[in-house]
Amino acid sequence: MDNIRRNDRAGWLQGPSATCSSLPVSVPDPWRLILLGAPGVGKGTQAALLNKELHACHLSTGDVFRAAKSQSECDLTPAMKSALEYMRRGDLVPDAFVLAMVRERSACLRCGGGFILDGFPRTLEQAESLSDLMKTELLSLTAVINYELPVEQIVARLGGRLTCEKCKAVFHATERPPKISGTCDICHGKLYQREDDRPESIRIRLEAYDRSTLPLIQFYKRAGLLLTVAATGVPQEICAKTLTALTAWRARHVPVA
Ligand code: AMP
């Protein structure tokens, strides 16, 4: 089953007034995962690959902002316009706005196919609010995957990253070049460099990660949910390592009857 092509994630990207093009199949024990790791470790790519394997929906807060950015100015609320300004600079969008946006989309957390959160939570306040929201919804997280990569490799990955305007597929100028320069292999959309992948924004994003997101590693370690995976190698290798780690993880965490 290829959820990526079949499910347009409209309920997440556009909000609760929109309906997803297809709902993932409900499974008895859905995966409810958070992906952590500095910008550039490949969380988005892994979320898309894991979506294919585990059928849990890819929920990226960054994708919600990018979808809003492609709307016409007059369709954007003043709060969203201001959020997009933070994003352009490479800064984190304030917690209150991000949390309101996620709460509005809590149906996606209840989705019977499970979820893979990518880019959220990013601060302790977001992590604590997510825990409260999950408790209210009577849901629990399966695991939090922390992708690790040396900083020089992160900078090289971000600097060469190319994203498709239309389907959001990610390529890389040297590591994963498209077949035709500037054109997406999947949908033939135009490839572009994200504004926040420019060198000055990369620096700000890595600083924001150290300051705000690193503490989450301790938070989830204390909660007994942290699973660390080395983000080295090609995406398929990293995905295979993740699946092996998740299978072992689930085997260790099977509830005793
Ligand atoms: P990403 O695609 O996850 O790297 O997100 C791109 C940008 O969107 C970030 O650099 C932030 O400006 C903003 N953003 C996405 N998710 C969050 C979040 N959970 N908290 C604050 N800002 C966010």
**Cβ(117)–Cβ(213) under 8 Å?**
no
Query: Is 175 a member of any domain?
Result: no
Tens of pLDDT along the chain (257 residues)? 444 446 889 899 998 888 888 877 788 889 999 999 998 898 999 999 999 999 999 999 999 999 998 888 888 899 999 999 999 888 899 999 999 999 999 999 999 899 999 999 999 999 999 999 999 999 999 999 999 998 888 888 888 989 998 888 889 998 889 999 999 999 999 999 988 888 888 888 888 888 888 899 999 999 999 999 999 998 999 999 999 999 999 998 876 55
Query: Is 158 a member of any domain?
Result: no
**Cβ(96)–Cβ(9) under 8 Å?**
no
Domain count, the chain: 1
Rounded to 5°, the CA angle 195-199-200 comes to 85
Q: What is the CATH number of the domain that holds 81?
A: 3.40.50.300
| Cα 119 to ligand 1 centre (Å) | 6
Query: Is 212 a member of any domain?
Result: no
102 lines ligand 1 (CB under 6 A): no
Q: Name the phi and psi angles at 115, rounded to 5.
A: -150, 160
56 lines ligand 1 (CB under 6 A): no
Query: Is 35 a member of any domain?
Result: yes
Ligand 1 atom nearest 65 alpha carbon: 8
Quote the pTM value: 0.86
**Nearest-angstrom CA–CA distance, 172 and 70:** 22
| Cα 47 to ligand 1 centre (Å) | 15
Query: Is 124 a member of any domain?
Result: yes
205 lines ligand 1 (CB under 6 A): yes
Query: Is 76 a member of any domain?
Result: yes
Domain that holds residue 30: 2-149+230-253
Query: Is 213 a member of any domain?
Result: no
171 lines ligand 1 (CB under 6 A): no
Query: Is 214 a member of any domain?
Result: no
| Residue nearest ligand 1's atom 1 by CA | 62
**Nearest-angstrom CA–CA distance, 163 and 103:** 27
The answer to whether residue 66 is catalytic is no
Query: Collapsing DSSP states into helix, strand and coil, what is residue 63?
Result: helix
Marked catalytic residue, from 43, 66, 157, 168: 43
| Residue nearest ligand 1's atom 2 by CA | 62
